[in-house]
Copies of this chain bind each other. A is one copy, B any other.
């Protein structure tokens, strides 16, 4: 039988059924579903007026806010493809993505006008300021219910690229829809749900929340920037039920919160960006924070697996089980791994992208499977443990060392605020692990501390996993999504 290819426009439906309900809450500003629907129509009308070919990429350089959300929802109404750009990139990096994506135009907000100009200095591109006036233009009257073509591309998002060149993941409407459905089947969907998204909308973790808001018909709290005190306050004021965070954000929220428990209406803290350290999870348990750890990526339209709060401490370090519509396997030399055996994580399902922009073939996408490049294993109960990004694997004397494991150990030491473990060349063993440690404020970073930390590891880890050297830093390079950039650290270390 034929399978579905179109759906009614999500936002238009919610605007019809719940026009007055807040769709977005950004600081003091509240945008109803009816208002967001009008904003999306206005943006779509402007983009249609450009007479671009169907599916033409339209780049966007903007901070979180209603304009960004309106553009996300404008895409099905103008047939363009949104290419959101990371605002923390350099002009050179942006220029590369504009070129690679084939963007026809660069939209930007007021805060990013200079960066937009710099990014297009060497390869001119029409710039359009997305401001109040642009979005205030009256949209044309709608004569029929707008439809969404599930197979069309909604977004091209460049993956943060811990390895090699960034690639533009092409996310279809079907990918986004199934991701929203999968999340609801897993986390539930309550009448009073209100989702707080402090993640940048140019990342899948932020964008997915905006799409869910319309698909579910729930309110989204979208802080203009990450301010732990403001976010803790918004959780209470707006009766937030779900929040999407990465570990560094959650840590800052916990630090700001002190010993004051979170309200019970906060039913889910969706924690991405790698496994959480035990002290943080224990702190969350004490504050009655139900932490749902998740493993996902741009290519899976966000969550691929999640760990239920009840399992958070019992399955410490696990990313949980795959969401219902997704297949997740561990692949070793083309065969499926046995329980406990480490191999490459591969996923297949309706949330997984079909291809990367401009690349007919990719080694990562074969026979419907996305080979994530991440190493992991499934335990006997089917819980996923992500041991490391393949590219970060340290091989020392023939033994595999997974940096995340060494980092998790050092994180638990009371002097350590943040840590990265990378490989350094070693004449005898090929590679040995090196730890770059950010001490807590007030801690003296001296050779005695380095010796202490090495001894601390030696007590807890196999000898070959113990860092041979500990160096100190004031901070570590992370992506906007909070992901550690080990490659940059390795490059710095190699340069020394």
Contacts and interface: CB of A to CB of B under 8 A. Distances in A.
A3 B191 contact: no
Contacts of A1: 151-153, 170, 172, 174-175, 353-355
Residue among A4, A153, A181, A190 with max Cβ neighbours from chain B (10 Å): A4
Interface stretch (A6-14, A42-50, A445-453): A6-14
A273 interface: no
A150 B188 CA distance: 23
A296 B349 CA distance: 30
Given A1-B151, A3-B174, A189-B184, A382 B16 contact: yes
B7 A349 contact: yes
Contacts of A147: 327
Given A1-B170, A327-B145, A185 B185 contact: no
A76 interface: no
A396 to B, nearest CB: 32
Interface in A1-50: 1-5, 7-8, 10, 13, 16-17
Contacts of A355: 1
A108 interface: no
Interface in A344-370: 349-350, 353-355
A262 interface: no
A325 interface: yes
A305 to B, nearest CB: 11
Given A4-B350, A7-B324, A188-B189, 13 more contacts: A1-B151, A3-B3, A3-B172, A3-B350, A8-B324, A16-B321, A17-B382, A181-B184, A184-B184, A184-B189, A185-B215, A188-B188, A188-B190
Copies of this chain held together in the complex: 2
A2 B325 contact: no
Contacts of A175: 1
Interface in A285-325: 321, 324-325
Contacts of A96: none
Interface string A367-408: 000000000000000100000000000000000000000000
Interface in A182-198: 184-185, 188-191
Nearest to A182: B181
Interface residues of A, number: 43
Residue among A145, A153, A355 with max Cβ neighbours from chain B (10 Å): A145
Interface of A: 1-5, 7-8, 10, 13, 16-17, 145, 147, 150-153, 170, 172, 174-175, 178, 181, 184-185, 188-191, 215-217, 321, 324-327, 349-350, 353-355, 382
A4 B217 CA distance: 24
A136 B355 CA distance: 46
A29 to B, nearest CB: 26
Contacts of A174: 1, 3-4
A267 to B, nearest CB: 8
A8 B186 CA distance: 15
A188 B185 contact: no
A226 B324 CA distance: 33
A13 B324 contact: yes
Contacts of A145: 327
Given A188-B189, A324-B10, A178 B4 contact: yes
